Structure 1
Amino acid sequence: MRYLVRDRMFAFHEEAWIETEQREKLYRVNRKFFRLRRTFALVDTRGEHVASIVRKAFTFHHTLLIKQEGQPTAKVSKKLFKLFGDRFKVRLGDGRKLRINGNLWDREFDIRHEGTTLAHVSRRWFTIRDAYAVDVMSQQDALLLVILAVCVDHVLQDAKGDQLTNL
């Protein structure tokens, strides 16, 4: 199934909508800034809290925690040392390990488990830069895979912003 993530431009605070291919809104990602931590709240269309994404403070590289129902579901880390492109590793609460790699600069990447692609994230089909597609192959973990795509996108956005401010 294909999900679309659309960033809302010119909003008072940053937010994005996760929609179906038919543009039915499912979830809203609400980005809130705190002093030492950045937090994203994922809520459904009724306003009910579905998940939280919290950026850990005081780390050498980006580390995000995903919590659902108050329990840690996943830990996403950007590898500090890399030879070819950016790579992320994910440790799920059930012990599984996922890898995220591909052309992350252009937001073309796969989420994989033991060589099997669980989801493919792409901006290829969109002429505007504020939307991307998440093609999910495993409906069992669909919500988590979309949340992982949002995490990677925001880490990469932050990294691009850091590079621009350091010029």
Structure 2
Amino acid sequence: MRYLIRDRMFAFHEEAWIETEHREKLYRVNKKLFRLRSTFHFVDTQGTVVATIVRKALTWHHTILIKHEGEVVAKFSKRFFKLFGDRFKVRLRDGRQLKIVGNLWDREFDIRHEGNTLAHISRRWFSIRDAYAVDVLSQQDAVLLIILAVCVDHTMQDLKGEKLTNL
């Protein structure tokens, strides 16, 4: 199934909506500003927090914790050194390890487990909004895969900002 993630570029509090390909809103991502850590709340349409996404400050690897009801269910991190392409790794609470591979320039990423593609992330730019599609092939982990797509997008934005400030 295809999901669309639409960032509101001009919103003060930075939010994104996750919709089905038929424009039915399912989730909202709220970014809390002015904190030492960047915190996102992944909220359903009734206002229930489905997950909390916390970017850890002061780490060697760009690390994000995904929490559900206060417990860490996944740890997302960017590899420190990679020659070709961008690569992320995800360690799940149940012991599974996922790999996210792709390329910033192509704006295409795959979420994989043991060689099988679970989801494909494809970014596209629109005139007013930044939007990208997440094609989820494993409905069992659909919400987690969408959350990981949000983590990839925000990590790439953060790293792009860091490179610009270091010039």
Q: Same fold (TM over 0.5)?
A: yes
The aligned residue for residue 42 of structure 1 is 42
Q: Aligned to 1:123, what secondary structure does the other structure show?
A: strand
Provide the alpha-carbon RMSD of the alignment.
1.3
Q: TM-score, normalised by structure 1?
A: 0.94
**Is the 8 Å Cα contact of residues 53 and 64 (structure 1) preserved in structure 2?**
yes
Which runs of no fewer than 5 residues in structure 1 stay unpaired? none
In 1: Cα distance, 2:37 partner to 2:58 partner: 9
Letter in 2 for 1:135: D
1:159 has 2:162 as partner? no
**Number of residues paired by the alignment?**
166
Q: Deviations over 1:18-50 (max 9, x none)?
A: 000010100000011343211000111111111
**Is the 8 Å Cα contact of residues 66 and 74 (structure 1) preserved in structure 2?**
yes
> What percent of counterpart residues are identical?
77
Runs of 4+ in 1 over 4 A off after TM superposition: 126-129
Q: Deviations over 1:42-65 (max 9, x none)?
A: 111111111000011220121000
Name the CA shift for 1:127/1:14 in 2 (closer, same or farther; >3 Å).
closer
The aligned residue for residue 12 of structure 2 is 12
Letter in 1 for 2:78: K
Q: Deviations over 1:123-167 (max 9, x none)?
A: 25x544600000000000000000000001000001111112222
Q: TM-score, normalised by structure 2?
A: 0.94
The aligned residue for residue 74 of structure 1 is 74
In 1: Cα distance, 2:75 partner to 2:144 partner: 11
Which runs of no fewer than 5 residues in structure 2 stay unpaired? none
After alignment, is 110-119 or 62-71 more displaced? 62-71
**Is the 8 Å Cα contact of residues 13 and 33 (structure 2) preserved in structure 1?**
no
The aligned residue for residue 98 of structure 2 is 98
